[in-house]
């Protein structure tokens, strides 16, 4: 079980690479972006590290704020738009 968890975390971290790339290109820190999407900094850092996944509303805020540069698919969330 521990090995599976480690592989799962690595997979999540790799999936978040697009978001990390966006932040770097935009010159935004994790702290700044967390404020922009209205989540706690520690929670957002866990998402970036692959230790957690964003909920659907947070994921949609990320897509909206990045003007689609980061997609729901990039975030591992279904492709439906959240109203």
DSSP state of 11: H
Q: Are 65 and 32 in contact (CB under 8 A)?
A: no
pTM over cut 0.95: no
Mean pLDDT of all residues belonging to the chain: 83
List, as one string, the DSSP characters of 2-44.
Answer: HHHHHHHHHHHHHHTHHHHHHHHHHT--HHHHHHHTT--HHHH
The per-residue pLDDT for range 29-66, each reduced to its tens digit, is 999 999 999 999 999 999 998 888 899 999 999 999 99
């Amino acid at each position: 079980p521990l090995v599976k968890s480690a592989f799962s975390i690595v997979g999540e971290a790799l999936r978040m690479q697009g978001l990390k790339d966006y932040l770097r290109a935009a010159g935004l820190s994790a702290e700044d972006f967390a404020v922009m999407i209205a989540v706690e900094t520690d929670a957002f850092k866990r998402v970036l590290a692959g230790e957690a996944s964003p909920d659907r509303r947070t994921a949609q805020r990320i897509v909206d704020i990045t003007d689609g540069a980061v997609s729901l698919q990039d975030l591992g969330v279904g492709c439906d738009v959240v109203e």
